Amino acid sequence: MTVLQVEGLAKSFGGVAAVQGVSFAVEAGHLLALIGPNGAGKTTCFNMLNGQLAPDRGSVRLDGREIVGLKPRQIWRLGVGRTFQITATFGSMTVRENVQVALISHHRRTLGLWPRARDLYRAEAEALLARVGMADQAERAAAVLAYGDLKRLELAVALANTPRLLLMDEPTAGMAPRERVELMALVAGIVRVEGIAVLFTEHDMDVVFAHADRIIVLNRGELIADGVPAQVRADPRVQQVYLGGGTTFGHG
């Protein structure tokens, strides 16, 4: 079943065409990798999908419903979770509180004046943290976490509203190679069980080829390839971009 359907998405910044007419779709229970060199337009794509940037042209449909023009917080309520390339967490709160705030918002209790936030949805928050391997860090301040742990926390937060679609911008950046593969294996597990659709970007080709069901390749804002890993790996244009750019493929 198609969860996300993107057509003709485009965005320019001044003279720079960051994304030009990109179309693709993500199925429930599948992982779609969006790869491309630095500055290819991957983050810009993400920002348009979750409503942070208004596209110049194109349409984004979630379960058939057009979501262009909606605000990020509205899109989140429709079941889109997101992790950021540069992590965005609540530094003055503990790891658990970070997740609790997401749960409070999910249950629409943000205007609550009486209960203590730290007592609300505690078990749920801990279950989410356990899932991403952060249970033992629940009491630590988010501000002091290592980068890889921040990425895990972001994932827990993104899962808090049982999303239909997960957007992950470089979810394993800053992790050791083994951690990366483990984290993506974990995501893949959750995704298959719950039927979530995932779109992720990643510079580590080991991770990409190990877990992506399909791969799309962006270069200078244009989609140059779309297919299963073996097809993409064999695509001469893709090889050109990556070899030309000095980046080599890992072996999947």
Partner 1 sequence: MTLATFVIQLLNGLAGASSLFLVAAGLSLIFGVTRIVNFAHGSFFMVGIYIAYTLTESFGRGSALGFWASVLAAAVAVGALGFVVEILLLRRIYKAPELFQLLATFGLVLVIKDATLAIWGPEDLLGPRAPGLRGAVSILGRPFPEYDLVLIAIGPLVLGLLWLVLNRTRFGVLVRAATQDRDMVAALGVNQAWLFTGVFALGAALAGLGGALQVPREPAQLFLDITVISDAFVVVVVGGLGSIPGAFLAALLIGEIKALCIGLGDVSFGGFEISFSKLTLVVEFIVMAIVLVVRPWGLLGRPGGEPRHAAATEPPLRPLHGYLKLAAAGLGAALLVLPVATDGYVLVLLIDIFVFALFAVSLHFLMGPGGMVSFGHAAYFGLGAYGAALLVLRAGLPMETTIVLGPLVALAGGLLFGWFVVRLSGVYLAMLTLAFAQIVWSVAFQWDSFTGGSNGLIGLWPPAWLASKSAFYHVTLILCVVAIVALRHLVFAPFGAVLRAGRDSPLRADAIGIDVRRHQWFAFALIGGFAGLAGVLHAFSKGSISPETLAIARSVDGLVMVLLGGVQTLTGPVVGAAVLTWLQDEIARRVEFWRAILGGVIILLVIAFPQGIVGFIRGRFMREVT
Ligand X SMILES: Nc1ncnc2c1ncn2[C@@H]1O[C@H](COP(=O)(O)OP(=O)(O)OP(=O)(O)O)[C@@H](O)[C@H]1O
d(CA 166, CA 37): 22
Q: What is the largest CA-CA distance in the chain?
A: 62
Asked whether position 164 contacts partner 1 by CB under 8 A, the answer is no
**What distance in Å separates the CA atoms of residue 143 and residue 79, rounded to the nearest whole number?**
27
Whole-number minimum distance, CB 209 to ligand X, in Å?
18
Q: Which stretch binds ligand X (CB under 6 A): 37-45, 114-122, 131-139, 178-186?
A: 37-45
Helix (H, G, I), strand (E, B) or coil at 3: strand
Residue partners of 218: CB distance under 8 A and separation at least 6: 19, 22, 34, 35, 36, 40, 41, 42, 45, 224
Applying CB under 8 A, does 112 fall inside the site for partner 1? yes
Sign of CA pseudo-dihedral 77, 81, 82, 83:
positive
Q: Residues binding ligand X: what is the number (CB under 6 A)?
A: 12
Among 8, 16, 144, 195, binds ligand X (CB under 6 A): 16
User: Counting contacts by CB under 5 A, is residue 23 touching Mg ion?
Assistant: no
Does position 150 interact with partner 1 (CB under 8 A)? The reply is: no
> Do 4 and 167 touch, CB atoms closer than 8 A?
no
Applying CB under 8 A, which part among 107-115, 182-190, 202-210, 214-222 lies near partner 1? 107-115
Candidates 41, 55, 58, 229; binder of ligand X (CB under 6 A) is: 41
Q: Taking CB under 6 A as the rule, does residue 13 contact ligand X?
A: yes
Contacting residues toward ligand X, per CB under 6 A? 13, 16, 18, 36, 38-44, 85
Q: Which spans of this chain sit near Mg ion (rule: CB under 5 A)?
A: 42-43, 85
